[in-house]
Copies of this chain bind each other. A is one copy, B any other.
Amino acid sequence: MKTSFSIGNVEFKNRVLVASGTFGYGDEVKDLVDVNKLGGIVTKSLSWKPRDGNPPRRIVETPSGMLNSIGLANVGVHAFIREKLPYLRTLKTKIVVNIAASSVQEYCDVLTLLDTQEGVDAYEINVSCPNVKEGGLNFGTDCRMTREITAQLRPLTRKPLIIKLTPNVTHISEFARAVEDAGADAVSVINTLVGMAVDVRTRKPKLSTVTGGLSGPAIKPIALAKVYEVAQAVKIPVFGIGGIQSAEDAIEFLLVGATAVQVGTMNFVDATASARIVEEIREFAEKENLDDVGKLVGALDANIKHSVLQSWL
């Protein structure tokens, strides 16, 4: 059974990675799970300087989901290289370093520094960040800026450049096409959806930042539709992300066109889930008499003529 896939000349041993911000830097869970079973680890977003993150409260549970407002708390790229990378380097799985920044220059600086380091296999760019120059407006909801970031980063590395798109836009496929055009090697779809929750007794928002990012099983149907839309629109690989709890969930993403998936929130509930999903996808493919898990990718049997009806919900 072939389980691996490649992006550029980086070969991932299987199609299940863990999503940024949901697996720390890989060392926290090593007692619980053999992280070498994973297709890859996407690190927490790194910025140039360490970030404290937002004041509490940062986490709210919602029906089948959670809101978070971590504020990209991270150790910063220098401490990452000093303290985290040495351990990550010892692992037999691919390390995708996720980058977050508040200016195009900062994205470039972080990537350039990382590119001098051994042990970084690929980059994932988080564009759901405030553009400080434009008064904090989100880079990721501006197609021109998203393309610009990609275009600026592209020449700085020969390693795979993955752009992680936000779902909080009307036509996510426009963004995917723009970054494909600007030289991205892959896209990750989706980051969290903007949401909020209110404490009716205190009349205050439950999160210190009023709104936060919704993740977990609740968003899976939305994520699947976004991945399907993107996979139809671009030729580059798509990482499917959003609410994956089981191998069945992961396979849904593969079928609609994801080349691989990332498991996020579920890691908090059960850090062993991702490794189990790796195994169960292989078993599923065996039962279906496939010789390559990749044969599931894009294998959706959809009757396209119905797609116009989608608007008549």
Contacts and interface: CB of A to CB of B under 8 A. Distances in A.
A72 B312 contact: yes
A71 B307 CA distance: 12
B193 A222 contact: yes
Contacts of A202: 301
A253 to B, nearest CB: 9
B64 A65 contact: yes
Interface stretch (A1-9, A104-112, A128-136, A181-189): A128-136
Interface in A203-226: 203-205, 208-214, 216-222, 224-225
Nearest to A60: B221
Interface string A272-311: 0000000000001000000000000001111110111111
A202 to B, nearest CB: 7
Given A65-B64, A218-B218, A129 B224 contact: no
Given A225-B196, A252-B200, A218 B63 contact: yes
A303 B55 CA distance: 12
Contact of A220 (B63, B211, B284, B308): B63
Size category of the A interface is 35 or more
A195 B306 contact: no
A205 B306 CA distance: 11
Contacts of A308: 130, 135-136
A152 interface: no
A218 B306 contact: no
Contacts of A306: 54, 208-210
Contacts of A150: none
Contact of A195 (B200, B204, B222, B309): B222
B195 A71 contact: no
Contact of A200 (B168, B171, B203, B284): B284
9 contacts: A63-B63, A63-B64, A71-B309, A129-B312, A208-B303, A210-B304, A211-B225, A211-B228, A218-B219
Given A70-B312, A205-B302, A214-B222, 12 more contacts: A54-B309, A54-B312, A63-B216, A63-B243, A72-B313, A191-B313, A196-B225, A204-B300, A204-B302, A209-B312, A210-B310, A217-B218
